[in-house]
Amino acid sequence: MLPQGIYPISKIEQEYAADTQVTKLVSLLGYLLSLINPDVTPKDGKNVGFGERVNANRHLFTNVPDVFFAIGVRNCIVHPENCEKPYTEAEVKRAAKHLRNAIYEIRDHRRIPADVKRDVFQPAAPSAARNYQKGPSPNFPPKKRAKPLKVRPQPKPVLARPARWLLSLRPRRPGRWVAALVVGALLSVYGKTIWQFGQEKFFGTRPDATIRRKEADAAIKRIQQFDKRQGFAAKVAEAQASWREAEIAFQQQRFKDAEQGYRRVSQIWDELVVRQNDRNEAQKLLAEIQNDRAGARNAQAPQVASQPWREAEQARLAARTALTNGNFAEAKQLALKAKQKYEEATGLAPSSTPTPEGAIGAPTPHLEPRPAPGGPPTTAERPPLKRR
């Protein structure tokens, strides 16, 4: 018997909402991985997360990024306040598909008990067929019918053979024949054009998909450079999954679906550029904060303006934590707040350099030195020498 909150595959697939399927499939996958490898140590010392169990048993799956993408979709569904952008219905259905594939990959593992396999993978019970048998009809006596009167039938009109043959050649509904002939003539002339238009409308065109493919190819090569950076792994995995699905659709000549996948890859590249800019700005602000912090400390802000100094310190530490966790936009806002608080604390602190008394900028009078006693005045001219 399965524990509470764990449901078999057949019952999960009967759920109408795709987000409900994703949450229940993640719980089922975590339960099966706990049976396979129960000795997983959590990083934070609390409960073991689904991502940690998948990472510890990543050798059991053929496509680990798809499983992490599905777990990210589940986390966004369960905790929408921590999700930057909600996933679309197509992405939720794709996550449910990845989770079903992962569960079926570990179906035959030797550490899963036989009764658990039977309960998890049991087929759905067939619905009972309804009995539409009618009840027995009441035993009424047969009704008596009146005997028909013997009336001499009216003789049929006799037509000449040539007139009857001419009437058989006349069409019964001439309007339909004319409409059929007109439709046949139009199809013979414009049939190929109409077929091409319908194919382009529902399946797309190869030239348009090829243009999008070149743009997405250049984008995916640049995206792979962000693979091992903090805060970019989820977007990189999503871009790689979209690229693979678009390539499959392109090979199957489903150019419209392929074009949507390539467009999604280019969109993820634009989002990564924005996140990279936010990260650079946050790092720059944190570097500038160090100078402001040193200036506020030299001005004795911790003792004089303790409240702004405490708020600035808290905002600085929170900005560093957000930058480490990959929340670059939040780190940028917290760094700006810390910078303002440091400047406020510096302004409230008294100046450390003493100011001279008197009017600022008053000119100092120039004093001439006094002449020595018995000497000539400084402005007096010497008498000219007389020649003998």
User: pLDDT tens digit string along 69-115?
Assistant: 988 888 888 888 888 888 888 998 998 898 888 888 888 888 888 88
Region 151-163: mean pLDDT is: 58
CA distance 282 to 325: 13
pLDDT for residue 356 = 42
pLDDT of amino acid 162? 54
pLDDT at residue 358, rounded to an integer: 40
Predicted pLDDT of residue 340: 83
Q: What is the DSSP letter of 88?
A: P
Cβ atoms of residues 312 and 345 within 8 Å:
yes
Does the pLDDT value for residue 360 go beyond 50? no
- Residue 302 tokens read as 């911790």
Give me the residue label for tokens 């067939």.
Answer: 126
What average pLDDT does the structure give for the chain?
75
Task: State how far the Cα of 154 lies from the Cα of 157, in Å rounded to an integer.
Answer: 9
In this predicted model, what pLDDT tens digit does every residue of 49-68 receive, in sequence order? 888 888 888 888 888 889 88
Cα four-point dihedral sign 46, 47, 49, 55: positive
pLDDT of residue 332: 83
Q: Quickly list H helices, 108-232.
A: 114-120, 161-169, 174-203, 206-223
Check: CB of residue 346 under 8 Å from CB of residue 295.
Answer: yes
Neighbours of 317 (CB within 10 A): 12
Q: Check if the beta carbon of residue 67 is closer than 8 Å to that of residue 99.
A: yes
User: Residue 248 and residue 375: Cα distance in Å, rounded?
Assistant: 110
pLDDT on residue 181: 79
171: confidence class by pLDDT, cuts 50, 70, 90: low
pLDDT of residue 132: 41
Confidence class for position 357, pLDDT limits 50, 70, 90? very low
What does the alpha-carbon distance between residue 187 and residue 183 come to, in Å, rounded to a whole number?
A: 6
pTM for this model (two decimals): 0.35
Residue 313 pLDDT greater than 50, yes or no: yes
DSSP-derived secondary structure letter, 238 = H
Mean pLDDT of 347-368: 49
pLDDT score of 129: 45
Task: Please report the pLDDT score of residue 131 as a whole number.
Answer: 46
Q: What pLDDT was estimated at residue 365?
A: 46
pLDDT of residue 40: 81
pLDDT tier, 298 (very low <50, low <70, confident <90, very high otherwise): confident
Q: What is the pLDDT of residue 230?
A: 62
| Least-confidence region, from 41-45, 127-131, 278-282, 288-292 | 127-131
Q: How many CB atoms lie within 10 A of CB 243?
A: 21
Check residues 230 and 135 and name the one with the higher pLDDT: 230
% of the chain exceeding 70 in pLDDT: 71
With cut-offs at 50, 70 and 90, classify the pLDDT of residue 203.
Answer: low
Task: Read off the pLDDT of residues 2-36 as tens digits, 9 standing for 90 and up.
Answer: 888 888 888 888 888 888 888 888 888 888 888 88
Least confidently predicted of 6-20, 94-108, 138-152, 160-174: 160-174
Per residue in 27-46, pLDDT tens?
Answer: 888 888 888 888 887 776 67
* Predicted pLDDT at 161: 53
